[in-house]
Structure 1
Amino acid sequence: MSQELLHPTLESTPSFTLPLLYLLFAIGLSFRSRILRASFLAIILAISYRTVFYTSTSEAPMNYLYATCSFSLFFSALDFLAITDPYTELRRIGQVESTSSMPFFSRFMWCWKLILTPRGIGWTHEPTNVIPPRPKPQSRISFIISQLPSTIILIFVADASNLLLRSHPGFLPGGPSIADVGPLMRFVNVFLFGTSSFYALQLQYKLLSIMVTAVGLSHPENWPNLMGSWSDAYTIRRLWGRTWHQIMRRWVSAAGNLVAQKLLRLTPGTNLSAYTKLFIAFLISGIIHQMGDYSLQHRDFWAGGSLTFFLLQAAIIMVEDGVIALGKKAGIQDRKRIRLLGYVWTASWFALCLPIWVDPYFHDGMASGKLFSPIGGLWKGDWTGASLKISLPLNY
């Protein structure tokens, strides 16, 4: 049943919603006045709220995209339009001219570059300690050619991951819980969901880097890998802080600093300050994903599990830090066998808690969209992959 029949008051989501939000963000950021910038933040929030609660595309995955992108943009705008003074605190690497002294159009272009670089690549606030190394300076043609082999591999890896995921009844609309499987399959669930998300995002990023570089809008060295290495994921903190994308790091950190230092006046560098900022970061992530959960079917806002799931990540990281600190005091050193234990611990944690997030997320239709499957097309002539069902050891 379409969402229009379930919710007759929902209007169709305008296709220009996201471009409009980006445009408003860039225009608002171009003003020197903080009051004017804050007024644009209010407009962005109003449009984002309306998009999630009063409109629908009639396709659950597209609703999720609009919801999460809208509120991601809002929290990014909260940083640049309200929390941070971008003209005094943010600069491009090598920038000499003061941003506030630039003509309006030059400031507008400066703002576009800032907004479209959420990880701060090429800016003085780039978190170089957690971002993968940048590609070496090279010609556009050389960069594009170098990206093609890994992109082709990613296409097939991402497709295989999606085909496996869609062969699991727990990941289908209205299916059983992904916890209703054997103990071994709980770990396979983590693998299926983690790899499908990881490689799909990496593939989209690779394709974008090729297109943007090909038309001359960016340089090859501005495109380090979106994701870090799986080898870094031997703690839950490192998985979220190094292996996963760092697109949200800048603006969740800004909000955390606002709460911890300016509102609560906590001493910087203390555990209380650090963990306050950690919880704020995961709270924001939870809110963004909860908006996406609600938008899938526009039912009970609290039916989604994102907020609970992401706040649990902050709580378990705090526990994990304590255990690691005790281990160091006991003389346990960071060695290969300890890291191996860490990988088992991290996988076990997600095998336990992933259903909280994933069950409502997929049962409301996140995997209901059409799939383009090169494997299905080459193997069976089915480019949607709908006829490919892979047997999984669900009872083990």
Structure 2
Amino acid sequence: MGGIDVISFDMLLHSYHLLLFNDPRRNFRRVVAINESKPATAGEVKSAVSDVRDHQDESTTPQYVDQSYPVKWSERLPWIGTLLHSMRFVDWKIGVPSHDSRQPDRHPNPPSHLRFILTAILRTLTGFVVVDLTSAWTQQDPYFKAFGVSIDSPLPNTGLITLIPPRLLRCTVMALQVWATVGQQFQLPCCLPVALHWAGYLSDPWSPHLWPTFFGSFRGVFTTQNLGAVRNFWGRYWHQTLRHYCSGPGVWIADFTHLPRRSYYRYFLLAATTFFFSGIVHIGLVPPEPAFAVKSANEIRWLILKFFWAQPLGFAFEMVVSRVLRGLDTPKPIYVMLNIVWFAAWCCLVLPLLGEAGRNLGYWRMWPIPLSPWQGVTRGKWLPWYA
């Protein structure tokens, strides 16, 4: 790459988290079921999870033990191997009370194997269609391909779509593409281990249909009893695969300086460090010599950094306004409305940073998928890469 790239920096953070900011051999414990030889059905796991939460029927509650770093070499290999692949530390106690209290973490309402596989395929196809339809717009909107065109410039169409503010529509298109390419692709690779668990070849901890979901409820972003849509989006909805690694340095600093666990100072420190490192991870998407750019590689990287580094400012705004609204005894329906409006406004403020970066990287210069139903139906060009 000639510079930072995503995989290398991600592995660097991963290594630092496990070797510099923590001591897994001393402090990490793997949560292991006493009997993992017989994979349980989804219904059995659902019942077991309910029992664990309610503490009502100990006879059907799975029995777990905390496994420290093993003495025997033969037991170390699975212990270490599982630790290295557990990016979200599911079924691990790592010394973080908010995380450890949920372990062993299981899907609260696990789907059947078949339902999980069918849902994964459906979500992938949904993402495929959304990318195709949004690409149809980016190909004919000069903002996405021509430099110097403002995000607030008039829309190319003259129909009812022009009633939508240009910035709002273009930010929605960008958000849908990110949602489709990232948010809908997590489950499809998990179909193979789920099928193997279904056939009895994998134990429960290795079957993704029993894990907590990668993404939370999007509706839940807006329905909390405070102004917190931006915080809820990043903390409850969006995937958490990099959360521990990016927040690790901040947690170490907070513990070293003895900041109280529930203090505002600690919260802001963790938010700032998490998005600081998340921004650095994502600038690895920029090659050293972008082929279509009018900006230098470093200028494009700064656009991406600004997007991620701005998020804690949104958190701070929400927390200040929430304190005022709580003093006014604001009803929940008002919070829902304010969260929707605020989230849309925030996206319209920060997403253009990614839009400008994407335009310079040439993201919208070619059709992103090799098979296009949209082009096939409208132009008879089903294979845009080859026609």
Q: What TM-score does the superposition give when structure 2 sets the normalisation length?
A: 0.71
More helix by share: 1
Deviates more, 1:317-326 or 1:140-149: 140-149
Q: Which sections of structure 1, spanning at least 5 residues, go unmatched?
A: 1-50, 55-66, 389-396
Aligned residue number for residue 122 of structure 1: 91
Specify the code of the residue in structure 1 equivalent to 2:277.
Answer: I
Aligned residue number for residue 272 of structure 1: 265
Aligned residue number for residue 129 of structure 2: 156
SS of 1:93's equivalent?
strand
State the alpha-carbon separation in 1 of the partners of residues 13 and 167 from structure 2.
34
Aligned length: 321
Aligned residue number for residue 306 of structure 2: 308
CA RMSD across the alignment: 3.3
Q: Deviation of residue 265 (structure 1)? A: 4.0
Tell me, yes or no, if structure 1 residue 259 matches structure 2 residue 267: no
Q: How does 1:103-118 map to 2 (within 5 A)?
A: 103=73, 106-118=75-87
State the alpha-carbon separation in 2 of the partners of residues 112 and 381 from structure 1.
50
Tell me, yes or no, if structure 1 residue 249 matches structure 2 residue 243: yes
Tell me, yes or no, if structure 1 residue 136 matches structure 2 residue 110: yes
Q: Cα deviations across residues 2-38 of structure 1 (Å, max 9, x unaligned)? A: xxxxxxxxxxxxxxxxxxxxxxxxxxxxxxxxxxxxx
Q: Deviation of residue 197 (structure 1)? A: 1.0
Tell me, yes or no, if structure 1 residue 168 matches structure 2 residue 138: no
State the alpha-carbon separation in 1 of the partners of residues 376 and 212 from structure 2.
31
Tell me, yes or no, if structure 1 residue 209 matches structure 2 residue 206: no
Q: Cα deviations across residues 63-113 of structure 1 (Å, max 9, x unaligned)? A: xxxx2232222212221121111223333322544324241x643443333
Contact 1:296 1:366 (C-alpha < 8 Å) held by counterparts: no
Tell me, yes or no, if structure 1 residue 360 matches structure 2 residue 360: no
State the alpha-carbon separation in 2 of the partners of residues 331 and 112 from structure 1.
51
SS of 1:118's equivalent?
coil
State the alpha-carbon separation in 1 of the partners of residues 85 and 364 from structure 2.
28
State the alpha-carbon separation in 2 of the partners of residues 236 and 387 from structure 1.
41
State the alpha-carbon separation in 2 of the partners of residues 339 and 81 from structure 1.
43
SS of 2:191's equivalent?
helix
Q: Deviation of residue 155 (structure 1)? A: 3.2
Aligned residue number for residue 198 of structure 1: 179
Specify the code of the residue in structure 2 equivalent to 1:198.
Answer: W
Identity of aligned residues (%): 21
Q: Cα deviations across residues 377-396 of structure 1 (Å, max 9, x unaligned)? A: 752553445799xxxxxxxx
Tell me, yes or no, if structure 1 residue 68 matches structure 2 residue 1: no
Deviates more, 1:153-162 or 1:342-351: 153-162
Tell me, yes or no, if structure 1 residue 99 matches structure 2 residue 69: yes
Answer with 1 or 2: which has the greater Rg: 2
State the alpha-carbon separation in 1 of the partners of residues 144 and 22 from structure 2.
40
Contact 1:227 1:245 (C-alpha < 8 Å) held by counterparts: yes
Tell me, yes or no, if structure 1 residue 185 matches structure 2 residue 166: yes
Tell me, yes or no, if structure 1 residue 287 matches structure 2 residue 237: no
Q: Deviation of residue 349 (structure 1)? A: 1.4
State the alpha-carbon separation in 2 of the partners of residues 175 and 206 from structure 1.
38
Aligned residue number for residue 343 of structure 2: 346
State the alpha-carbon separation in 2 of the partners of residues 134 and 295 from structure 1.
45
Q: Cα deviations across residues 321-365 of structure 1 (Å, max 9, x unaligned)? A: 1111111022223x1232112111111111122212320233222
Q: Deviation of residue 177 (structure 1)? A: 4.3
Q: How does 1:363-378 map to 2 (within 5 A)?
A: 363-368=360-365, 370-376=368-374
Q: What TM-score does the superposition give when structure 1 sets the normalisation length?
A: 0.70
